[in-house]
Structure 1
Amino acid sequence: MNVHVNSGETLRAALAGLLDGLPPRQAAAAVDRLIANYRGATPTDAPILRDRADVAAYAAYRMPATFGAVTAALDAFADTVPDWTPATHVDIGGGTGAATWAVSATWEGQRPVTVLDWAEPALALGREIAEGNPALRDARWQRTRIAAGLRVESADLVTVSYVLGELTEEVRTALVDAAASAAQAVVVVEPGTPDGYARVLAARERLVSAGFRIAAPCPHSGGCPIVPGSDWCHFSARVSRSSLHRQVKGGSLAYEDEKYAYVAATRFASDPAPARIVRKPQIRKGQVLLDLCEQDGQLARTTVTKRHGDLYKASRDANWGDAWPRTV
């Protein structure tokens, strides 16, 4: 956990100076416009981040949340492969590099890292920020068109975070297939919305079809038990808010909860959770209600009571997204 805290603090410190000289109203206006573009329903065939002002404003606003969500997803994945550490990492559509920071926070040490993105201003700023992270000082920031026909160099780990929503369905498919061809492990993270979950689910299906096994969050590699349109699988990461966050959102809280959906898949053996808590635990007098996705591919609600002893104590400390042992 200390690695996470230190990396997060280092990232926030690196981001703090990005907006020097940029009037707060201009930064807020840039963020508002960029958020509108990212939330739009029409995928783009050109980079959304156009210049350094765009990138600086959006990085200061969004990188901490992306880092928090990707770190949470990688934590859950790492728990299923405790003896594995990626020797190489490629981040597709990595922009300013939030996922590379998350990988370095999850697995200590240096490794060859390549960030692929089509927006040169984002890559340039990512390179600048990474100077503050020893694990990323030798990373390659490579301008690459994220399009059909994408080729990705072989790597132990390929991450794809917060990028599929910018692409057409054809390019999404090509990107996931390219990642599957190159990687031993693939982690895809998207916003925790119904649309984001649908993109993750589509990626999950292609990875399974390519011979991958699901390591997290699912305890199984079968079909998702959620009835399409009835619900969606997502989780939450608590993220400290910057002053720009508070200015743009008009909020006073020092934190916000970033909702995200993800899948981690491997070509090698992993030890998926016996079950995964897929909703916020409901704590009642003398009992805790847990909504679980289980190894048999089903959703189930279990009630843990005081008679379960230590398991009951553990349930009161359990969080949404945690692995969970089967009750007895």
Structure 2
Amino acid sequence: MQRTPDLRLRDALDAETAGVSSASLVVSVDRLIGRYRAGGAASAPILASAMDVLAYANYRMPATLAACRNVLWHSASRIGEVTSVVDLGGGTGAMAWAAAEEWPDASVTVLDQAGEAMALGRRLRSAEPGSVEFRTWQAGSPVPAADLVTISYVLSELRDADRSSIVLSAIRAATRGVVIVEPGTPDGHRRVLAARALLLEAGLRVVTPCPHQLACPIAAPDWCHFSARVERSAMHRRLKGGDLGHEDEKFSYVVAVVDGSTDLYAADGSRVIRHPMKRKGLVELQLCRPDGSAGRQIVTKKAGVAYRTARDVRWGDDWPADDRVNGG
């Protein structure tokens, strides 16, 4: 059986940590978390050493990969064929793993200024197929053109002006589309909304998760986010200080395409924006709709095909255009 990228990444991380004191990794993780919280949302953890980079990769990279895979899985059919990807601020390369899995023949370039992080990223990819290159890049420098430009878990590390600058750089470099992923927190959602506004102002067309080009209908204190299941390794559990063999990574995102670059735009349907609630004889869905509204949809057993579809639908999936079979 072919091993998934999640398991292959786990194997690669385990190989990197072989012989390394787990206590030292825990100390590094605790120090990095403390430094991040003390510095606020616009201060990135300072990866000052190879140990810091290894600790951070073990702590965060599996969850980041799970979120990025989920985003690309839900978006690839709307983006179309991709032959080149540039990942801005990609660090150890979680998005690169997801992109190489989704488009095996594409060339993927990770741009970052953290040399130790990129060195680890190269080693983790050393036994992997596909073309993934890590290149030194400073924020504000030109971004090479690519079909797809991605920015994952980077905006939270930047100040407002720098966030706008990197999004605009991605827009200028993308010939097909832009992908932006952030933590699934209220702040993460606000950063995604700000990036979404820049994408729309530049003339791009949002294709996921929003089924429309209108203002987001989800109002505070609620926020739009999704979830990806992460299977934890023994080291991951140790660094997280938890006993469960899994965790759920919450994330917010937006994907937009250059208008005219593809005819695979979003279908005339809705997006499931919460876990479906399943009870005997009915399924309750929370939907974002093409008309720019969001709300509850009840699908009962008498709906036939729609009910059977609703029993299988998951958080983040599309919902067909004829969703109002039982009223809305």
TM-score w.r.t. length of structure 2: 0.92
Partners in 2 of 1:314 and 1:32 — Cα distance? 44
- Equivalent in 4, 15, 18 of residue 16 of structure 2: 18
Partner SS for 1:17: helix
2:273 alignment partner in structure 1: 278
Alignment of 1:176-255 (within 5 A): 176-183=167-174, 184-227=176-219, 229-255=220-246
- Judged with a 3 Å threshold, the aligned counterparts in structure 2 of structure 1 residues 85 and 38 are, in CA distance, closer, same or farther, namely farther
1:20 deviates by 2.3
Count residues in correspondence: 317
Where structure 1 has 5 or more consecutive residues not aligned to the other structure, the ranges are: none
- For residues 289 and 74 of structure 1, do their structure 2 counterparts lie closer, same or farther at Cα, with a shift above 3 Å needed? same
* Aligned residue type for 1:298: S
Residue identity in the other structure for 1:272? A
Match of residue 142 from structure 1: 135
Paired residue secondary structure (2:17) = coil
Relative distance call for 1:12 and 1:165 in structure 2 (3 A) is same
Q: SS state of the match for residue 95, structure 1?
A: coil
C-alpha deviation, 1:145, in angstroms? 1.9
TM-superposed CA distance for 1:180, in Å, is 0.3
* Amino acid in the other structure paired with 1:130: R
CA separation of 1:36/1:162 partners in 2, compared to 1, >3 Å: closer, same or farther? farther
1:74–1:37 CA distance, 2 compared to 1 (3 A): farther
Pairing 1:287-326 to 2, within 5 Å after superposition? 287-325=282-320, 326=322
Give the counterpart letter for 1:89 in structure 2: V
Hey, what's the Cα distance between the residues in 2 that align with 1:48 and 1:187?
A: 25
Secondary structure of residue in 2 paired with 1:266? strand
What amino acid is aligned across from residue 244 of structure 1 in structure 2?
M
Which whole-Å CA distance do the structure 1 matches of 2:304 and 2:200 have between them?
38
* Equivalent residue, structure 1, for 2:256: 265
Match of 2:126 in 1: 131
**Structure-2 separation of matches of 1:197 and 1:36:** 23
Among 143, 157, 172, the residue aligned to 1:166: 157
Question: Identity percentage over the alignment?
Answer: 47
Q: Check whether the contact 1:150–1:175 (CA below 8 A) recurs between aligned residues.
A: no
Q: Is 1:153 matched up with 2:144?
A: yes
User: Residue type matched to 2:65 in 1?
Assistant: F
In 1: Cα distance, 2:58 partner to 2:298 partner: 42
Q: Runs ≥4 in structure 1, deviation > 4 angstroms?
A: none
Which has the higher mean CA deviation after the structures are superposed, 265-274 or 308-317? Answer: 265-274
Shift of 1:249: 2.8
Change (3 A) 1:272 1:145: same
Letter in 2 for 1:90: V
Q: Which runs of 5+ in 2 are unaligned?
A: none
2:130 is paired with a residue whose SS is helix
Q: Which residue of 1 aligns with 2:34?
A: 36
Q: Return the offset for 1:47.
A: 6.7
* Partner residue of 1:104 out of 77, 97, 100: 100
Deviations 1:116-151 (A, max 9, x none): 111100011111111121113xx33112222xx332
Shift, 1:42, TM fit: 4.7
- 263-272 vs 208-217, which deviates more? 263-272
TM-score normalised by structure 1 residue count: 0.92
Change (3 A) 1:224 1:42: closer
* SS of equivalent residue, structure 2 residue 147: strand
Give the aligned CA root-mean-square deviation in angstroms.
1.7
Q: Pick from 48, 51, 54 the counterpart of residue 50 of structure 1.
A: 48
The letter for the 1-side match of 2:42 is P
How far apart are the structure 2 equivalents of 1:38 and 1:212? 33
